[in-house]
Each structure stands twice: as C-alpha cells, then as structure tokens.
Structure 1
Amino acid sequence: MLPELLSALPLTLAIMFVALTAGFLVALLATALRVRRVPVISHLADLYVSYARSVPVVLQLFIAFYGLPVLGKLFGVPDLLSATGASMLGLSLYHGGYLSEVMRPAYLAVDRGQHEAADSLGYSFRQKMSRVIVPQALHIALPGYGNALIYMVHNVALVMYIGAADIMATSHLIMERDYNQYQFQTYLVLAVIYSIMCLITWSIVRFFEMRSPMYVPDSAPVKTPIMASA
C-alpha cells in the first residue's frame, strides 16, 4: 500500500505549502492591524482571529466548501471552488488566525526601550523593524510558530471530509478496496508518515532557532554574579 499512499503525498504537501504561505501573509496583515489599533478595522481583525481560533478546523473547511458557493450565488458568482481549493482556503484562514496570536505577543514582548533606542539613532520605521524589532520578535515567536506548523501537519488530514484526495482519503480508499482487512496496518503506515513529516518540520524550526543570534544552548552554564568581599 505504501506506493499508493506516497502517490497522494504531493497533493497533501501542496495543500500544506499553500496554506502555510497564504496563512503567514494573512497573519502578518492581521497582526499589523491589531497592533496599530486602526478604528473598526482592528476590531474586524480581532473578530477574524477569534473565529479562526474558536471554530473547529473541520467546520471551517465545511464553511469554505459548502458555505462560500451559497454566498457566491447571492452575488451571482459561479461556484468554481474545488475540494482542493476549499481545503487551501479553509486551512489558510485557520493558520492565519492562529499564527496571528503567535506574532502579536512576540512583537509586544520586545522591550519598549528597543523602539526608543532605534528612534534615537535616527532609524527609519523600515530600518527599525528589519534591524532591531523583527529579529528579536522572530526569536520569541519561533517555538510558537513551530507548534503552528505541526498543527498544520495534523489538520491537513481533515481535508478528506470535503473530498480532497490527500493521503488520508487515499488510505480509506485502499481499506475499502481490501474490504477493511488491513485497517491496523494502514493506520500504522499513516502514523509513520505523519510522524516523519512532523519530525522534518521540527528539525527545520530547530535549525533556525539554533542559528538565531539570541539563541542560548540548553547546556550553557549559568553565570552567577561574583559578590565583592566586605
């Protein structure tokens, strides 16, 4: 069964890649609006983040696949959204809302003095963000972002419920074809595949975390201050 499962892996990875990329861009926009506190628009961004974090992911996929065509009919827009497209859209909106709650605390965690120091040096807003604030915020956000990536690996398995032919849907087709004789073996192979995907994701996040200028190794000795003798 392994070759058949791996044949569906490219579609699974494509859905995941598009959702991660689009979700990251949506999270950047939502975070910027929530931090700057633009009247009305920031409240809409807060409402979106609350929706993405409160509604189960599978229900968000149902809304994207079944709800958007109904909404499109009200405006005379034809239904052109396939199951794969709805999967990408639903997961992108979920990931964007979840990731915004990782980015916003990371940005706010940077000490206010860092902003003031950059302003006193005459940095422009772009220079301040790229040279001072963003590197520190990225280091703070990396663990939470790694968790968001792993959650995406898990949640992409839900796209089978709206008809996307991902690796999970392919496994069910294989089991039905074999009259459910090898359910345990199939699920075990799936568990190994998803575990490898999560391990690769964690390794990539760990790679960037260890190369951050703010990284402190776990084995680094703790320096204690030397007290002056009386």
Structure 2
Amino acid sequence: MSDPANHPAAPAVKPSNLNLPNILTSLRIALVPFFAVALLIDDGDSIGWRLTAFVIFAVAMITDKIDGDIARKRGLITDFGKIADPIADKAMTGMAFVGLAIIYANPWWWAITIVVLIREWSVTLLRLSILKKVVIAADQLGKIKTTFQAVGLSGLVLPLLDPDLPEWLQTPCEVLFYIALALTGIAVALTLISGAQFFHGVWQQRHALRGQPQGD
C-alpha cells in the first residue's frame, strides 16, 4: 500500500464565481441606477418614489450583510466577490450621498459628500490594487461606520420632511430626520477616522515588506 505521506495534497478547488453571494452582489450593483431614479424623480418631492428608493436602499444594505456572511460560512469567497462587493457597497452609498446633496442643495452637504466619496473610493481602489500583496482586513471601527451609515442614510432617504405628510406625522418624522442626520454625521466622522487608520495600516505593512529579504 502506498504511503499517503508521499503523495502531495490535492489542490483546493476554487469556488465558482456563479454562486449566491456573487449573485446578490451583482443584484446590488444593478439596483444602483434604479435607486437613483426613484430617489430623484420629481426632484425628490414624490412620497411614493422616495419610499420606493428607501426599499431599494434597504434591500441593498441587507443583502450586503447577507452575501458576506454566506460567502464566509460556505467558503464561497472568490476574486470576483472581493472586487465586486466593495464596489457595490460604495456605489449604492455614494449614490445616496450624491442624491441627497442634489435634493437638499446644501453646500455643506455637497462638501461632506465630496469628502466621503474621495475617502471611500480611494480606500476601495487602494485595497483592490494591493489585494495580492497586502491584506488589510476590515476593522471593527469600519464595521461600526458601515452600520451608522446604512441606518442614517436610510432615514434621510425617507420623505420625513415632506409637507404633504399628515399633520400628526410631521413632528415625529421631523424628529426621526434629525436622528438620521446625527447618525449620518457620526458615520462621516468614523469614515474619516477609519480611513486614516486604513492608510496607516497599509503604510505599516508595506514598510514591513520592504524590510523583508527578497526570495530568489
């Protein structure tokens, strides 16, 4: 009988790109233009379309959590998923920031939107560019930021300040709007802090790699 120790282990089979997490990720990317249209119809003044935009955004945020959990638990992490998942997340939340800046037409909101977009996309592009050289896992602060951002933006997408709302709903909806605004403000602060931590982590790892002896 041959000794199993003399035989090399069989290479691990890579999961197919056609799996449930990647399908959910692709769905989120496909939903971005529909979300944009629903949010901006009638300059954001349509209660019905704003509610539709909220549903689309909520579905995207929920599937963002679900597809990652499924991929990790079932060993379905693929190169496509590593690239497409952050793109889907940043595209949807970025469109929410831009759409809300258009609706509220506030210079401060535009300034915040530009800062957040620069941070989010620079981190995403850098993470993808060094994917095979440096591994920077999502830290706890980044996950907290994502939660605050998802909840805060969801509230702002809702037509909470619409004057056509029933009078008995206007005061509680106004309170919810300012809560959502505060949560989004916290998310923006965490976005900048976690971004700084990310770039610091990349610099540390690249510095450590330079100090390692090169192979033949």
TM-score, normalization by structure 1 = 0.33
* Greater Cα radius of gyration, structure 1 or 2: 1
Q: Which has the higher contact order (CA 8 A, sep 6+)?
A: 1
TM-score, normalization by structure 2 = 0.34
